[in-house]
């Protein structure tokens, strides 16, 4: 496994791989890798013949009052995990390499980025679209793999790739969960045991919504009300949003579930820790 930290070296390497006819599969991450990330690496291995993982905590997607400084990092452990998964290249640039002094260009997606996380984290998707456009130009992947855990991000990225005529395929892989259902996330490392107990209720609430749907009720207000009610009974949780949207367009759905196309997504504060999760009905 080769670890690359400069844009120049990564681009040269990507050009060489492409010229040799290799198919590059890419997994962008912010590091502090867990099984969710590693499931994307395995998916990438199925989708291409060279796997590149990027590890970069992207400052432009954090708002001024967010957790950029304390975001968990452990590059040595991440490299070990990548090595044992058979990753071919890790691209781990310093911030100055991605955003040198004088950097002033940003990418904005202006429709799917609007609701949910776009509303509660105004800088977020601009930062995500900017860093991913840069990473796609640096790593030059044929395929990039994203997690369903960040469903709105996956939809925004797919849309951006289409709008900007970027020549790569976006693959979305299922959410990997802890044994009790909590969606894996680097931010789970912030949770103290007593908060962890409450955090698991996020998935339980979504499951309750799914159970109501499976019992034959397809009224969205009714399903969301049940989810919000469940979340609001949990001591440390505060709902930021719980919404039903079209899985592809992220447009709010108001009346009935559209089978296979309805994403129920929620973001909550568990004390001061922001967590998200979702299910597809
Ligand atoms: P992050 O490092 O949090 O920016 O995430 C990098 C990629 O891993 C994104 O595509 C996420 O959607 C994906 N990811 C994060 N957590 C999970 C999970 N529990 N299951 C599947 N994919 C995940």
| Cα of 101 from ligand 1 centre, angstroms | 29
Tens digits of per-residue pLDDT, 117-133?
999 999 999 999 999 99
Please state the rounded mean pLDDT for residues 132-146: 98
- Alpha carbon nearest to ligand 1 atom 12, residue: 147
- Average pLDDT of every residue of the chain: 98
Work out the pLDDT band at 254, boundaries 50, 70, 90: confident
DSSP 152: H
Please state the rounded mean pLDDT for residues 89-118: 98
Please state the rounded mean pLDDT for residues 165-194: 98
**What token pair was written down for 58?**
């992207």
| Cα of 95 from ligand 1 centre, angstroms | 20
Q: In the prediction, which pLDDT does 249 show?
A: 97
If one residue of 30, 32, 39, 40 were mutated to test the ligand 1 pocket, choosing by the most ligand atoms within 8 A of its CB, it would be 40
Longest Cα pair distance anywhere in the chain, in angstroms?
57
- Closest listed residue to residue 153, CA positions, set 50, 232, 267: 267
Q: What atom in ligand 1 is closest to the CA of residue 176?
A: 20
152 ligand 1 Cβ < 6 A: no
Please state the rounded mean pLDDT for residues 4-21: 98
Tens digits of per-residue pLDDT, 224-236?
999 999 999 999 9
Please state the rounded mean pLDDT for residues 254-274: 96
Predicted confidence (pLDDT) at residue 196 exceeds the cutoff of 90: yes
Q: In the prediction, which pLDDT does 181 show?
A: 98
| Cα of 102 from ligand 1 centre, angstroms | 30
Q: What is the pTM of this model?
A: 0.98
Residues pairing with 252 in the sheet: 245
Please state the rounded mean pLDDT for residues 252-262: 94
The radius of gyration computed from the CA coordinates of the chain, to the nearest angstrom, equals: 19
Q: In the prediction, which pLDDT does 94 show?
A: 98
Q: Which domains does the chain have, with CATH numbers?
A: 2-173 (3.40.50.620), 186-280 (3.30.1300.10)
Pairing mode, if any, of strands 262-270 and 273-280? antiparallel
- Closest listed residue to residue 61, CA positions, set 151, 168, 133, 161: 133
* Range 4-13, long-range pairs (CB < 8 A, 24+ positions): 4/89, 4/90, 4/91, 4/92, 5/91, 5/92, 5/93, 5/94, 5/97, 6/93, 6/97, 7/93, 7/97, 7/98, 7/138, 10/89, 10/91, 10/93, 10/138, 10/139, 11/137, 11/138, 11/140, 13/89
């Amino acid at each position: 496994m080769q670890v690359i930290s400069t844009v120049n070296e990564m681009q040269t390497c990507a050009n060489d791989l492409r010229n040799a006819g290799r198919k590059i599969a890419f997994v962008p991450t912010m590091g502090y890798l867990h099984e969710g990330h590693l499931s994307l690496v395995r998916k990438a291995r199925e989708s291409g013949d060279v796997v590149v993982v990027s590890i970069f905590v992207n400052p432009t997607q954090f708002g001024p009052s967010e957790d950029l400084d304390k975001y968990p990092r452990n590059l040595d452990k991440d490299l070990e995990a990548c090595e044992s998964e058979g990753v071919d290249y890790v691209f781990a640039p310093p911030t100055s390499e991605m955003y040198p002094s004088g950097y002033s260009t940003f990418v904005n997606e202006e429709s799917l980025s609007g609701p949910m996380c776009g509303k509660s984290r105004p800088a977020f998707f601009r930062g995500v679209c900017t860093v991913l456009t840069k990473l796609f130009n640096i790593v030059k992947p044929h395929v990039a793999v994203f997690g369903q855990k960040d469903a709105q991000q996956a939809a925004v990225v797919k849309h951006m790739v289409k709008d900007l005529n970027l020549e790569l395929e976006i693959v979305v892989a299922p959410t990997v969960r802890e044994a009790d259902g909590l969606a894996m996330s680097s931010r789970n490392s912030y949770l103290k045991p007593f908060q962890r107990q409450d955090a698991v209720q996020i998935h339980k609430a979504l499951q309750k919504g799914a159970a109501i749907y499976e019992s034959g009720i397809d009224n969205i207000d009714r399903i969301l009300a049940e989810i919000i009610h469940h979340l609001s009974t949990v001591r440390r949780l505060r709902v930021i949003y719980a919404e039903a949207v079209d899985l592809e367009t992220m447009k709010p759905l108001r009346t009935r579930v559209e089978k296979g196309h309805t994403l129920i997504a929620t973001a909550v504060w568990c004390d001061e820790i922001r967590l998200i999760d979702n299910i597809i009905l």
